[in-house]
Amino acid sequence: MTGSRIRPPAAALMMLVPAGCAELPATLVPRGGDAQAIADLFWIFLLVCALVWVLVVLGLLLALWRRRGAEETADPLAGHDRATRIAGRAVGIAVALTVVALVALTVLSYFTNRSIANVARDEHLKIRVTGHQWWWEVVYDDPKPERQVATANEIHVPVGEPVELELLASDVIHSFWVPSLAGKKDLIPGRQTSQTLEVHKAGIYRGQCAEFCGLQHAFMGLTVVAHERAEFDAWQAAQLKAAAPPADTLRQQGERVFQTKGCFLCHAVRGTTAAAKVAPDLTHVASRRTLAAGALPMTRGSLAAWIADPQAIKPGSKMPRVDLSPDELEAVVAYVEGLT
């Protein structure tokens, strides 16, 4: 199955979307196994219900038309035997069709749910995604600790392979939702759930926390990047590397600011003494597309604005404002920008 399997109504809808917005999350333009199953079910429900609605309205119009044409009789309760028989039969057929339609839709819904709930348990890539206020921790599990990769707010997956997501929450209930790829899944503190993600087409898919989780719920975005296998392996190999030590003096100064101004108390940069797990792992932060869970694009300007005053961008976020001189800010931005 490939992404070209867009349902005709969805294709028509896509024509209404401006070309630049092709990456909008779209439940009706599925690019993943679960999303495809949900979209198929949606179209079947829509078509069956639309057909029933049209038939009911036609029946109603017919009844009104016939009532108008009927002559006034002296006794309105005196029925015509033949007409009553036909009406009774029609009602019987309608009831039978309703029962058949309801049972068929229920069975269909059950099988769709079952296929979505079937989590791949074998040798697939396993990714642990933890919802925090207000960012996503992403850990690529591996039996060998040195092969574990941690990132944040960006999930890279190979195309065409089922990937098992282990979903957790650390503080409050969040909901993991990448509309083009699969349905929503609630993340409940103290409970582990899972979701199998199978992406059919390489690309970048936007996701969003779909359960109100506090002040910055709207800025709890994430990105799924689906690569061909070779490209994914290259990404993973790059992520496995420790951060390269800063070569120039500005970045060296920036590393010192990072180590003395408290950044290391929450963040980890593999290859340095910073190893805290409270906030996003920054080993390769500059390789990500966005900053602060999708709130800002990854640019030098965004980095400077975010580090200078996170509370101005995401009020209530756990990242505090740290007093830095302009020189210190410039240095630490250069250091973080070099963490590719």
Give contact residues for ligand CUA (rule: CB under 6 A).
131, 134, 174, 209, 211-213, 217, 220
Residue 53 burial (10 A CB sphere; 0-12, 13-18, 19+): exposed
**Least distance between ligand CUA and beta carbon 64 (Å):** 50
Q: Which is nearer to ligand CUA, 131 or 254 (CB)?
A: 131
Where b means 16+ CB within 10 Å and e means fewer, 319-339 reads beebebeeebbbbbbbbbbbb
Distance of alpha carbon 139 from alpha carbon 141, whole angstroms:
6
Tell me whether residue 219 or residue 235 sits nearer to ligand CUA (CB atom). 219
Q: Least separation, in Å, of the C-beta of 132 and ligand CUA?
A: 8
Q: Are 317 and 216 in contact (CB under 8 A)?
A: yes
Q: Which is nearer to ligand CUA, 125 or 152 (CB)?
A: 152
* Minimum distance of ligand CUA from residue 40's CB (angstroms): 28
CB of 155 to ligand CUA, least distance (A): 15
Of 301 and 315, which has the nearer Cβ to ligand CUA? 315
Tokens found for residue 148: 């574990």
- Closer CB to ligand CUA, 213 or 303, in the complex: 213
Compute the distance between CA of residue 271 and CA of residue 213 in angstroms, rounded to an integer: 34
Q: Which amino acid is at 318?
A: K
Q: How far apart are CA 160 and CA 229, in angstroms?
A: 9
**Contact of 134 with 292, CB cutoff 8 Å:** no
Q: Which is nearer to ligand CUA, 172 or 240 (CB)?
A: 172
- End-to-end distance of the chain based on CA atoms, in angstroms? 35
Q: How far is the CB of 293 from ligand CUA (least distance, A)?
A: 9
134/264 with CB nearer ligand CUA? 134
- What minimum distance in Å lies between the beta carbon of 171 and ligand CUA? 9
211 vs 281, beta carbon nearer ligand CUA:
211
Nearest-CA neighbor of 136 among 299, 280, 33, 323?
280
- Smallest distance, ligand CUA to C-beta of residue 134, A: 6
What gap in Å lies between CA 96 and CA 322, rounded to an integer?
70
User: Shortest distance, CB of residue 221 to ligand CUA, whole angstroms?
Assistant: 10
Instruction: Give 33 or 183: the residue with its C-beta nearer to ligand CUA.
Output: 183
DSSP assignments along 52-79, one per residue: HHHHHHHHHHHHHHHHHHSPP-S-TT--
**Cα–Cα distance measured from residue 280 to residue 310, given in angstroms and rounded to the nearest whole number:** 14
- The alpha carbon torsion through 202, 206, 207, 212 (nearest 10 deg) reads -170
The one-letter code for the residue type at 238 is: A
Least distance (Å) from ligand CUA to the CB of residue 167? 12
Q: Quick one: which of 269, 319, 271, 261 has its CA closest to 291? A: 319
